[in-house]
Protein backbone atom coordinates (compact mmCIF):
# COMPACT_ATOMS: atom_id res chain seq x y z
CA UNK A 1 0.00 0.00 0.00
CA UNK A 2 2.75 2.41 0.88
CA UNK A 3 4.61 1.55 -2.32
CA UNK A 4 1.44 2.07 -4.37
CA UNK A 5 0.83 5.41 -2.66
CA UNK A 6 4.33 6.55 -3.53
CA UNK A 7 4.10 5.36 -7.15
CA UNK A 8 0.78 7.08 -7.78
CA UNK A 9 1.95 10.34 -6.25
CA UNK A 10 5.32 10.59 -8.01
CA UNK A 11 4.39 13.87 -9.74
CA UNK A 12 3.78 15.37 -6.28
CA UNK A 13 7.01 13.99 -4.80
CA UNK A 14 8.93 15.36 -7.78
CA UNK A 15 7.64 18.82 -6.87
CA UNK A 16 8.10 18.49 -3.12
CA UNK A 17 11.64 17.10 -2.97
CA UNK A 18 13.30 20.38 -3.93
CA UNK A 19 10.99 22.33 -1.61
CA UNK A 20 12.20 20.11 1.21
CA UNK A 21 15.77 20.67 0.04
CA UNK A 22 15.25 24.45 0.12
CA UNK A 23 14.24 24.25 3.78
CA UNK A 24 17.22 22.07 4.69
CA UNK A 25 19.56 24.40 2.81
CA UNK A 26 18.31 27.37 4.85
CA UNK A 27 19.02 25.48 8.07
CA UNK A 28 22.63 24.83 7.03
CA UNK A 29 23.82 28.35 6.42
CA UNK A 30 27.19 27.73 8.10
CA UNK A 31 27.79 24.28 6.62
CA UNK A 32 28.59 24.92 2.95
CA UNK A 33 29.60 21.35 2.18
CA UNK A 34 26.39 19.97 3.66
CA UNK A 35 24.37 22.67 1.90
CA UNK A 36 25.88 21.70 -1.44
CA UNK A 37 25.44 18.00 -0.68
CA UNK A 38 21.72 18.56 -0.05
CA UNK A 39 21.48 20.42 -3.37
CA UNK A 40 23.02 17.54 -5.31
CA UNK A 41 21.01 14.85 -3.51
CA UNK A 42 17.76 16.72 -4.18
CA UNK A 43 18.68 17.21 -7.84
CA UNK A 44 19.55 13.55 -8.33
CA UNK A 45 16.47 12.44 -6.35
CA UNK A 46 14.15 14.65 -8.40
CA UNK A 47 15.57 13.32 -11.66
CA UNK A 48 15.31 9.71 -10.45
CA UNK A 49 11.63 10.13 -9.49
CA UNK A 50 10.80 11.73 -12.84
CA UNK A 51 12.83 9.25 -14.88
CA UNK A 52 11.05 6.35 -13.14
CA UNK A 53 7.79 7.47 -14.78
CA UNK A 54 9.18 7.29 -18.33
CA UNK A 55 8.30 3.64 -19.16
CA UNK A 56 4.69 4.01 -18.02
CA UNK A 57 4.12 7.32 -19.77
CA UNK A 58 5.65 6.03 -23.02
CA UNK A 59 3.30 3.07 -22.72
CA UNK A 60 0.37 5.48 -22.87
CA UNK A 61 -0.40 5.92 -19.17
CA UNK A 62 -0.99 9.25 -17.45
CA UNK A 63 0.24 9.24 -13.85
CA UNK A 64 -1.86 11.62 -11.77
CA UNK A 65 -2.29 12.56 -8.15
CA UNK A 66 -5.66 12.90 -6.47
CA UNK A 67 -7.03 16.41 -7.12
CA UNK A 68 -7.15 18.84 -4.20
CA UNK A 69 -10.61 20.41 -4.38
CA UNK A 70 -10.72 24.06 -3.30
CA UNK A 71 -14.34 24.61 -4.33
CA UNK A 72 -16.78 22.85 -6.64
CA UNK A 73 -15.10 22.74 -10.05
CA UNK A 74 -11.90 24.38 -8.76
CA UNK A 75 -9.01 22.01 -8.07
CA UNK A 76 -5.26 21.79 -7.86
CA UNK A 77 -4.18 18.74 -9.82
CA UNK A 78 -0.88 17.20 -10.95
CA UNK A 79 -0.33 14.65 -13.69
CA UNK A 80 2.55 13.35 -15.78
CA UNK A 81 1.60 13.13 -19.45
CA UNK A 82 3.99 12.83 -22.39
CA UNK A 83 4.56 16.55 -22.95
CA UNK A 84 4.84 17.37 -19.26
CA UNK A 85 7.29 14.53 -18.70
CA UNK A 86 9.46 15.79 -21.57
CA UNK A 87 9.81 19.19 -19.89
CA UNK A 88 10.26 17.69 -16.42
CA UNK A 89 12.98 15.25 -17.54
CA UNK A 90 14.84 18.04 -19.28
CA UNK A 91 14.66 20.46 -16.35
CA UNK A 92 15.57 17.92 -13.69
CA UNK A 93 18.58 16.56 -15.59
CA UNK A 94 19.96 20.01 -16.32
CA UNK A 95 19.50 20.98 -12.66
CA UNK A 96 22.06 18.33 -11.72
CA UNK A 97 24.66 19.81 -14.06
CA UNK A 98 23.74 23.38 -13.13
CA UNK A 99 24.18 22.56 -9.44
CA UNK A 100 27.73 21.30 -10.01
CA UNK A 101 28.49 24.32 -12.18
CA UNK A 102 27.04 26.57 -9.48
CA UNK A 103 29.50 25.31 -6.88
CA UNK A 104 32.51 26.13 -9.04
CA UNK A 105 31.13 29.49 -10.12
CA UNK A 106 30.02 30.80 -6.74
CA UNK A 107 33.14 29.64 -4.92
CA UNK A 108 35.46 31.14 -7.52
CA UNK A 109 33.82 34.57 -7.47
CA UNK A 110 32.97 34.58 -3.74
CA UNK A 111 29.56 36.17 -4.23
CA UNK A 112 28.34 35.51 -0.69
CA UNK A 113 24.69 35.04 0.35
CA UNK A 114 24.92 31.53 -1.06
CA UNK A 115 22.43 29.89 1.29
CA UNK A 116 19.52 31.96 0.02
CA UNK A 117 20.85 31.55 -3.50
CA UNK A 118 20.78 27.75 -3.43
CA UNK A 119 17.43 27.71 -1.63
CA UNK A 120 15.89 29.98 -4.29
CA UNK A 121 17.33 27.76 -6.99
CA UNK A 122 15.63 24.75 -5.40
CA UNK A 123 12.27 26.54 -5.20
CA UNK A 124 12.60 27.57 -8.87
CA UNK A 125 13.07 23.96 -9.91
CA UNK A 126 10.15 22.88 -7.75
CA UNK A 127 7.95 25.46 -9.51
CA UNK A 128 9.25 24.39 -12.91
CA UNK A 129 8.29 20.76 -12.28
CA UNK A 130 4.92 21.97 -10.99
CA UNK A 131 4.40 23.77 -14.30
CA UNK A 132 5.41 20.64 -16.22
CA UNK A 133 3.02 18.39 -14.27
CA UNK A 134 0.11 20.83 -13.91
CA UNK A 135 -3.08 19.07 -14.99
CA UNK A 136 -5.20 22.21 -15.25
CA UNK A 137 -4.87 25.94 -15.76
CA UNK A 138 -5.21 26.90 -12.10
CA UNK A 139 -2.34 24.61 -11.05
CA UNK A 140 -0.27 25.90 -13.97
CA UNK A 141 -0.91 29.50 -12.90
CA UNK A 142 -0.01 28.83 -9.26
CA UNK A 143 3.41 27.37 -10.10
CA UNK A 144 3.95 29.93 -12.86
CA UNK A 145 3.72 32.75 -10.32
CA UNK A 146 5.80 30.89 -7.70
CA UNK A 147 8.52 30.68 -10.35
CA UNK A 148 8.31 34.43 -10.89
CA UNK A 149 8.79 35.23 -7.20
CA UNK A 150 11.45 32.60 -6.55
CA UNK A 151 13.61 33.84 -9.43
CA UNK A 152 13.72 37.44 -8.19
CA UNK A 153 16.32 36.85 -5.42
CA UNK A 154 18.53 35.17 -8.00
CA UNK A 155 18.36 38.08 -10.42
CA UNK A 156 19.36 40.61 -7.72
CA UNK A 157 21.89 38.31 -6.05
CA UNK A 158 24.90 40.59 -6.48
CA UNK A 159 22.96 43.39 -4.69
CA UNK A 160 24.44 46.06 -6.98
CA UNK A 161 22.37 49.02 -8.16
CA UNK A 162 22.29 47.52 -11.65
CA UNK A 163 21.10 44.17 -10.28
CA UNK A 164 18.35 45.81 -8.20
CA UNK A 165 17.15 47.69 -11.26
CA UNK A 166 17.19 44.49 -13.34
CA UNK A 167 15.20 42.67 -10.66
CA UNK A 168 12.59 45.41 -10.41
CA UNK A 169 12.18 45.45 -14.18
CA UNK A 170 11.86 41.66 -14.21
CA UNK A 171 9.12 41.78 -11.55
CA UNK A 172 7.31 44.67 -13.21
CA UNK A 173 7.05 42.76 -16.48
CA UNK A 174 6.32 39.28 -15.13
CA UNK A 175 3.89 40.21 -12.36
CA UNK A 176 1.92 42.46 -14.72
CA UNK A 177 1.76 39.61 -17.22
CA UNK A 178 0.56 37.37 -14.41
CA UNK A 179 -2.56 39.50 -14.00
CA UNK A 180 -3.52 38.99 -17.63
CA UNK A 181 -2.88 35.27 -17.24
CA UNK A 182 -5.05 35.16 -14.12
CA UNK A 183 -7.97 36.80 -15.97
CA UNK A 184 -7.54 34.29 -18.80
CA UNK A 185 -7.49 31.37 -16.36
CA UNK A 186 -10.64 32.59 -14.56
CA UNK A 187 -12.43 33.15 -17.86
CA UNK A 188 -11.48 29.66 -19.04
CA UNK A 189 -12.68 28.27 -15.72
CA UNK A 190 -16.07 29.93 -16.27
CA UNK A 191 -16.33 28.55 -19.81
CA UNK A 192 -15.16 25.05 -18.87
CA UNK A 193 -15.25 24.38 -15.10
CA UNK A 194 -12.11 22.61 -13.99
CA UNK A 195 -10.16 23.83 -17.04
CA UNK A 196 -8.34 20.49 -17.20
CA UNK A 197 -5.74 20.15 -19.95
CA UNK A 198 -6.97 17.79 -22.65
CA UNK A 199 -5.16 16.64 -25.78
CA UNK A 200 -6.89 18.49 -28.60
CA UNK A 201 -8.16 21.23 -26.28
CA UNK A 202 -11.30 21.81 -24.23
CA UNK A 203 -12.58 25.23 -25.37
CA UNK A 204 -14.13 24.28 -28.71
CA UNK A 205 -17.77 25.35 -28.74
CA UNK A 206 -17.45 27.15 -25.40
CA UNK A 207 -17.88 30.71 -26.64
CA UNK A 208 -18.24 33.01 -29.62
CA UNK A 209 -15.35 33.54 -32.03
CA UNK A 210 -14.80 37.07 -30.70
CA UNK A 211 -14.80 35.92 -27.07
CA UNK A 212 -12.29 33.17 -27.81
CA UNK A 213 -10.09 35.58 -29.76
CA UNK A 214 -9.99 37.96 -26.80
CA UNK A 215 -9.29 35.07 -24.44
CA UNK A 216 -6.43 33.90 -26.65
CA UNK A 217 -5.00 37.44 -26.67
CA UNK A 218 -5.07 37.51 -22.86
CA UNK A 219 -3.15 34.23 -22.77
CA UNK A 220 -0.61 35.66 -25.20
CA UNK A 221 -0.04 38.65 -22.91
CA UNK A 222 0.22 36.38 -19.88
CA UNK A 223 2.62 33.88 -21.43
CA UNK A 224 4.39 36.17 -23.88
CA UNK A 225 6.42 38.06 -21.27
CA UNK A 226 8.12 34.94 -19.94
CA UNK A 227 8.55 33.63 -23.50
CA UNK A 228 10.08 37.05 -24.32
CA UNK A 229 8.19 37.64 -27.57
CA UNK A 230 8.58 41.17 -28.85
CA UNK A 231 7.67 43.77 -27.67
CA UNK A 232 7.32 42.03 -24.27
CA UNK A 233 10.99 41.01 -24.11
CA UNK A 234 12.93 43.94 -22.67
CA UNK A 235 13.27 42.51 -19.15
CA UNK A 236 15.39 39.59 -20.36
CA UNK A 237 18.57 41.37 -21.56
CA UNK A 238 18.40 43.57 -18.44
CA UNK A 239 18.24 40.49 -16.21
CA UNK A 240 21.64 39.37 -17.53
CA UNK A 241 23.20 41.20 -14.56
CA UNK A 242 22.45 38.03 -12.60
CA UNK A 243 25.18 35.42 -12.01
CA UNK A 244 25.73 33.27 -15.09
CA UNK A 245 24.17 30.09 -13.59
CA UNK A 246 21.01 32.15 -13.07
CA UNK A 247 21.15 33.30 -16.69
CA UNK A 248 21.44 29.66 -17.71
CA UNK A 249 18.43 28.86 -15.50
CA UNK A 250 16.40 31.72 -16.99
CA UNK A 251 17.13 30.71 -20.58
CA UNK A 252 17.61 26.96 -20.71
CA UNK A 253 15.54 25.46 -17.90
CA UNK A 254 12.95 27.60 -16.21
CA UNK A 255 11.55 31.06 -16.85
CA UNK A 256 11.54 31.61 -20.60
CA UNK A 257 11.09 27.88 -21.14
CA UNK A 258 8.01 28.01 -18.91
CA UNK A 259 6.54 30.64 -21.21
CA UNK A 260 7.35 28.64 -24.33
CA UNK A 261 5.99 25.48 -22.69
CA UNK A 262 2.82 27.41 -21.87
CA UNK A 263 2.26 28.35 -25.52
CA UNK A 264 2.39 24.71 -26.55
CA UNK A 265 -0.02 23.78 -23.74
CA UNK A 266 -2.29 26.59 -24.94
CA UNK A 267 -2.28 25.46 -28.55
CA UNK A 268 -2.41 21.72 -28.01
CA UNK A 269 -4.30 21.26 -24.75
CA UNK A 270 -6.46 24.36 -24.11
CA UNK A 271 -7.71 25.69 -27.47
CA UNK A 272 -6.60 22.77 -29.62
CA UNK A 273 -4.98 23.11 -33.06
CA UNK A 274 -8.26 23.17 -34.97
CA UNK A 275 -9.75 25.98 -32.87
CA UNK A 276 -6.51 27.99 -32.99
CA UNK A 277 -6.80 28.00 -36.79
CA UNK A 278 -10.56 28.53 -36.89
CA UNK A 279 -10.49 31.74 -34.83
CA UNK A 280 -7.51 33.13 -36.75
CA UNK A 281 -5.36 33.42 -33.65
CA UNK A 282 -2.59 31.24 -35.00
CA UNK A 283 -1.93 33.45 -38.01
CA UNK A 284 -1.48 36.55 -35.87
CA UNK A 285 0.72 34.79 -33.34
CA UNK A 286 2.85 33.33 -36.14
CA UNK A 287 3.49 36.82 -37.50
CA UNK A 288 4.55 38.03 -34.04
CA UNK A 289 6.84 35.02 -33.66
CA UNK A 290 8.36 35.53 -37.10
CA UNK A 291 9.06 39.20 -36.44
CA UNK A 292 10.60 38.34 -33.06
CA UNK A 293 12.88 35.73 -34.64
CA UNK A 294 14.28 38.18 -37.18
CA UNK A 295 14.45 41.36 -35.09
CA UNK A 296 16.01 39.61 -32.08
CA UNK A 297 18.67 38.11 -34.36
CA UNK A 298 19.44 41.54 -35.77
CA UNK A 299 19.73 42.96 -32.26
CA UNK A 300 22.11 40.15 -31.28
CA UNK A 301 24.47 41.20 -34.07
CA UNK A 302 25.04 44.56 -32.39
CA UNK A 303 25.76 43.33 -28.84
CA UNK A 304 29.39 43.20 -27.69
CA UNK A 305 28.56 41.85 -24.22
CA UNK A 306 28.48 38.07 -24.61
CA UNK A 307 25.63 37.42 -22.20
CA UNK A 308 23.45 40.11 -23.80
CA UNK A 309 24.13 38.62 -27.23
CA UNK A 310 23.09 35.25 -25.86
CA UNK A 311 19.97 36.87 -24.37
CA UNK A 312 18.83 38.24 -27.74
CA UNK A 313 19.63 34.87 -29.27
CA UNK A 314 17.27 33.27 -26.75
CA UNK A 315 14.53 35.77 -27.58
CA UNK A 316 14.74 34.74 -31.22
CA UNK A 317 15.21 31.02 -30.64
CA UNK A 318 12.32 30.67 -28.18
CA UNK A 319 10.01 32.21 -30.75
CA UNK A 320 10.64 29.07 -32.82
CA UNK A 321 8.61 27.29 -30.14
CA UNK A 322 5.92 29.97 -30.27
CA UNK A 323 5.87 29.64 -34.06
CA UNK A 324 5.28 25.90 -33.74
CA UNK A 325 2.36 26.55 -31.38
CA UNK A 326 0.95 29.17 -33.74
CA UNK A 327 1.13 27.06 -36.91
CA UNK A 328 -0.50 24.21 -34.94
CA UNK A 329 0.13 21.47 -37.48
CA UNK A 330 1.47 18.07 -36.39
CA UNK A 331 5.02 18.68 -37.61
CA UNK A 332 5.04 22.26 -36.29
CA UNK A 333 4.02 21.15 -32.80
CA UNK A 334 6.57 18.34 -32.93
CA UNK A 335 9.25 20.82 -33.93
CA UNK A 336 8.22 23.24 -31.20
CA UNK A 337 8.22 20.55 -28.51
CA UNK A 338 11.59 19.16 -29.51
CA UNK A 339 13.04 22.67 -29.82
CA UNK A 340 12.43 23.12 -26.09
CA UNK A 341 14.88 20.24 -25.61
CA UNK A 342 17.28 21.28 -28.36
CA UNK A 343 17.50 24.90 -27.26
CA UNK A 344 18.00 23.90 -23.64
CA UNK A 345 21.14 21.88 -24.32
CA UNK A 346 22.49 24.35 -26.86
CA UNK A 347 21.90 27.49 -24.85
CA UNK A 348 22.96 26.16 -21.47
CA UNK A 349 26.25 25.11 -23.09
CA UNK A 350 26.79 28.63 -24.41
CA UNK A 351 25.97 30.26 -21.08
CA UNK A 352 28.16 27.83 -19.17
CA UNK A 353 31.00 28.74 -21.54
CA UNK A 354 30.36 32.47 -21.03
CA UNK A 355 30.50 31.97 -17.26
CA UNK A 356 33.67 29.86 -17.44
CA UNK A 357 35.36 32.55 -19.51
CA UNK A 358 34.30 35.25 -17.06
CA UNK A 359 35.44 33.33 -13.98
CA UNK A 360 38.81 32.56 -15.57
CA UNK A 361 39.53 35.85 -17.37
CA UNK A 362 36.97 38.36 -15.98
CA UNK A 363 36.14 39.26 -19.58
CA UNK A 364 32.54 39.85 -20.57
CA UNK A 365 32.83 41.53 -23.97
CA UNK A 366 33.32 39.62 -27.20
CA UNK A 367 35.87 42.16 -28.43
CA UNK A 368 38.13 41.20 -25.52
CA UNK A 369 38.11 37.47 -26.26
CA UNK A 370 40.44 37.32 -29.26
CA UNK A 371 42.74 34.32 -29.13
CA UNK A 372 41.05 32.85 -26.08
CA UNK A 373 40.29 29.60 -27.89
CA UNK A 374 43.95 28.69 -27.94
CA UNK A 375 44.20 29.18 -24.17
CA UNK A 376 40.86 27.65 -23.18
CA UNK A 377 40.53 25.00 -25.92
CA UNK A 378 38.02 22.72 -24.21
CA UNK A 379 35.70 25.57 -23.22
CA UNK A 380 35.74 27.08 -26.70
CA UNK A 381 35.29 23.66 -28.30
CA UNK A 382 32.04 23.30 -26.34
CA UNK A 383 31.04 26.86 -27.31
CA UNK A 384 31.69 26.00 -30.94
CA UNK A 385 29.49 22.90 -30.67
CA UNK A 386 26.70 24.99 -29.15
CA UNK A 387 27.02 27.65 -31.83
CA UNK A 388 27.04 25.14 -34.70
CA UNK A 389 24.01 23.40 -33.21
CA UNK A 390 21.95 26.53 -32.68
CA UNK A 391 22.43 27.59 -36.29
CA UNK A 392 20.63 24.40 -37.29
CA UNK A 393 23.54 22.48 -38.79
CA UNK A 394 22.71 18.89 -39.85
CA UNK A 395 23.68 16.17 -37.37
CA UNK A 396 23.26 18.63 -34.50
CA UNK A 397 20.20 18.77 -32.25
CA UNK A 398 19.01 22.16 -33.50
CA UNK A 399 18.61 20.82 -37.04
CA UNK A 400 15.97 18.27 -36.04
CA UNK A 401 13.61 20.77 -34.41
CA UNK A 402 14.04 23.39 -37.15
CA UNK A 403 13.57 20.83 -39.93
CA UNK A 404 10.28 19.75 -38.36
CA UNK A 405 9.19 23.37 -38.00
CA UNK A 406 9.86 23.87 -41.71
CA UNK A 407 7.74 20.81 -42.54
CA UNK A 408 5.07 22.17 -40.22
CA UNK A 409 5.05 25.45 -42.14
CA UNK A 410 4.48 23.49 -45.37
CA UNK A 411 1.63 21.55 -43.72
CA UNK A 412 0.04 24.90 -42.84
CA UNK A 413 0.61 26.24 -46.37
CA UNK A 414 2.73 29.02 -44.84
CA UNK A 415 5.94 28.72 -46.85
CA UNK A 416 6.96 32.23 -45.81
CA UNK A 417 8.10 30.84 -42.47
CA UNK A 418 10.63 28.61 -44.19
CA UNK A 419 12.18 31.85 -45.42
CA UNK A 420 12.10 33.14 -41.83
CA UNK A 421 13.94 30.02 -40.66
CA UNK A 422 16.59 30.41 -43.37
CA UNK A 423 17.16 34.11 -42.69
CA UNK A 424 17.34 33.39 -38.96
CA UNK A 425 19.95 30.69 -39.56
CA UNK A 426 22.06 33.13 -41.58
CA UNK A 427 21.78 35.82 -38.91
CA UNK A 428 22.62 33.29 -36.19
CA UNK A 429 25.73 32.36 -38.15
CA UNK A 430 26.53 36.06 -38.34
CA UNK A 431 26.41 36.67 -34.60
CA UNK A 432 28.04 33.41 -33.41
CA UNK A 433 30.69 32.44 -35.93
CA UNK A 434 32.76 35.65 -35.63
CA UNK A 435 33.08 34.87 -31.89
CA UNK A 436 34.43 31.42 -32.73
CA UNK A 437 36.74 32.71 -35.48
CA UNK A 438 38.25 35.45 -33.30
CA UNK A 439 38.61 33.09 -30.36
CA UNK A 440 40.77 30.72 -32.39
CA UNK A 441 42.46 33.02 -34.91
CA UNK A 442 42.43 36.45 -33.25
CA UNK A 443 45.54 37.75 -31.52
CA UNK A 444 45.69 38.33 -27.76
CA UNK A 445 47.78 41.51 -27.72
CA UNK A 446 48.03 41.59 -23.96
CA UNK A 447 49.60 38.15 -24.01
CA UNK A 448 48.28 37.41 -20.52
CA UNK A 449 48.45 33.67 -19.78
CA UNK A 450 44.99 32.12 -19.35
CA UNK A 451 44.32 28.67 -17.95
CA UNK A 452 41.47 26.34 -18.77
CA UNK A 453 38.33 26.55 -16.64
CA UNK A 454 38.22 24.59 -13.38
CA UNK A 455 36.70 21.06 -13.49
CA UNK A 456 33.47 22.11 -11.74
CA UNK A 457 32.88 24.63 -14.53
CA UNK A 458 34.37 22.64 -17.40
CA UNK A 459 32.76 19.22 -17.05
CA UNK A 460 29.10 20.38 -17.12
CA UNK A 461 29.62 22.44 -20.28
CA UNK A 462 31.45 19.58 -21.99
CA UNK A 463 28.61 17.19 -21.12
CA UNK A 464 25.88 19.49 -22.44
CA UNK A 465 27.90 20.29 -25.56
CA UNK A 466 28.41 16.61 -26.36
CA UNK A 467 24.73 15.87 -25.73
CA UNK A 468 23.79 18.61 -28.23
CA UNK A 469 25.82 16.65 -30.77
CA UNK A 470 24.59 13.18 -29.79
CA UNK A 471 20.90 14.17 -29.81
CA UNK A 472 21.36 15.46 -33.34
CA UNK A 473 22.16 11.91 -34.48
CA UNK A 474 20.17 9.91 -31.91
CA UNK A 475 17.26 12.15 -30.83
CA UNK A 476 15.96 9.53 -28.38
CA UNK A 477 19.33 9.06 -26.69
CA UNK A 478 19.00 8.61 -22.93
CA UNK A 479 15.63 10.18 -22.26
CA UNK A 480 13.39 9.41 -25.29
CA UNK A 481 12.72 13.12 -25.76
CA UNK A 482 11.76 12.75 -29.40
CA UNK A 483 9.51 9.78 -28.68
CA UNK A 484 7.77 11.74 -25.94
CA UNK A 485 7.19 14.66 -28.32
CA UNK A 486 5.86 12.29 -31.00
CA UNK A 487 3.49 10.65 -28.51
CA UNK A 488 2.26 14.05 -27.31
CA UNK A 489 1.54 15.23 -30.86
CA UNK A 490 -0.20 11.96 -31.70
CA UNK A 491 -2.45 12.28 -28.65
CA UNK A 492 -3.35 15.87 -29.55
CA UNK A 493 -4.38 15.11 -33.12
CA UNK A 494 -6.00 11.75 -32.38
CA UNK A 495 -8.19 13.46 -29.80
CA UNK A 496 -8.86 16.31 -32.20
CA UNK A 497 -10.07 13.92 -34.91
CA UNK A 498 -12.25 12.17 -32.36
CA UNK A 499 -13.89 15.42 -31.31
CA UNK A 500 -14.41 16.45 -34.92
CA UNK A 501 -16.07 13.10 -35.69
CA UNK A 502 -18.23 13.40 -32.59
CA UNK A 503 -19.30 16.89 -33.59
pLDDT tens figures, 189-241: 999 988 899 999 999 889 899 999 999 999 999 999 988 898 988 888 887 77
For residue 196, report the phi and psi dihedrals to the nearest 5 degrees.
Answer: -80, 135
Phi-psi region of 480 (alpha: psi -120 to 50; beta: other; left: phi over 0): left
Residue 503: per-residue pLDDT: 42
pLDDT score of 496:
56
Question: What does the alpha-carbon distance between residue 194 and residue 191 come to, in Å, rounded to a whole number?
Answer: 9
DSSP annotation of 61: -
Helix extents (H) in 27-136: 32-51, 54-58, 82-109, 114-133
Distance between alpha carbon 286 and the CA centroid of its chain, in Å? 19
d(CA 330, CA 496): 11
What pLDDT does residue 502 have?
44
Where does residue 67 fall: left (phi above 0), alpha (psi -120 to 50 degrees), or beta otherwise? beta
Q: How far apart are CA 273 and CA 295, in angstroms?
A: 27
CA dist., res. 100 & res. 84, Å (int): 25
Q: Which residues contact 202 (CB under 8 A, 6 or more apart)?
A: 192, 195, 196, 269, 270, 272
CA–CA dist 403, 335 (Å, integer): 7
C-alpha to C-alpha distance for 54 and 476, rounded to whole angstroms: 12
**Closest to 338 measured CA to CA, from 157, 150, 136, 488:** 488
pLDDT number for residue 447? 57
For residue 449, the model assigns a pLDDT of 67
Dihedral in degrees, nearest 10, Cα atoms 492, 493, 499, 500: 150
Which distant-in-sequence residues (6+ apart) come within 8 Å of 488 by Cβ?
81, 82, 83, 86, 199, 268, 333, 337
3-class DSSP state of 309? helix
How crowded is the C-beta side of 279, counted as CA atoms within 13 Å? 24
Count CB atoms within 10 A of the CB of residue 377. Answer: 13
Q: Are 451 and 375 in contact (CB under 8 A)?
A: yes
Dist. CA 76–CA 322, nearest whole Å:
26
Could you give the angle at the alpha carbon of 213 between the alpha carbons of 170 and 291, nearest 5°? 55
Contact between residue 86 and residue 340 where contact means Cβ atoms under 8 Å apart: yes
Residues in the chain: 503
Q: What is the pTM of this model?
A: 0.93
Task: Identify the segments of the chain with pLDDT beneath 50.
Answer: 1, 499-503
The answer to whether 301 and 427 have CB atoms below 8 angstroms apart is yes
φ, ψ for residue 64, nearest 5 deg: -135, 145
Amino acid sequence: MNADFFLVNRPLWAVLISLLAAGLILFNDRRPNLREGITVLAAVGKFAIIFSMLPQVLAGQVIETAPLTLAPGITLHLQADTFGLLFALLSSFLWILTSIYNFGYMRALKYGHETGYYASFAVCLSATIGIAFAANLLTFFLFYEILTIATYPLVIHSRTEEAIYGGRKYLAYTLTAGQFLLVAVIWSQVLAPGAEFQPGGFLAGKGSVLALQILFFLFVLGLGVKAAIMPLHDWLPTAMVAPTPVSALLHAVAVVKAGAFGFLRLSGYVFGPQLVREIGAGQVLAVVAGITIIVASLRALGEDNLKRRLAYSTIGQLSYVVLGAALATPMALLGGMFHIVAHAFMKITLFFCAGAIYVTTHKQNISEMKGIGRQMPATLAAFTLGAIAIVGTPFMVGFISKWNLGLGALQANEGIYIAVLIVSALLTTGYFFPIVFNAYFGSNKAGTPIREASPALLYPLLITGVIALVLGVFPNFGWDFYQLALAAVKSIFTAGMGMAAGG
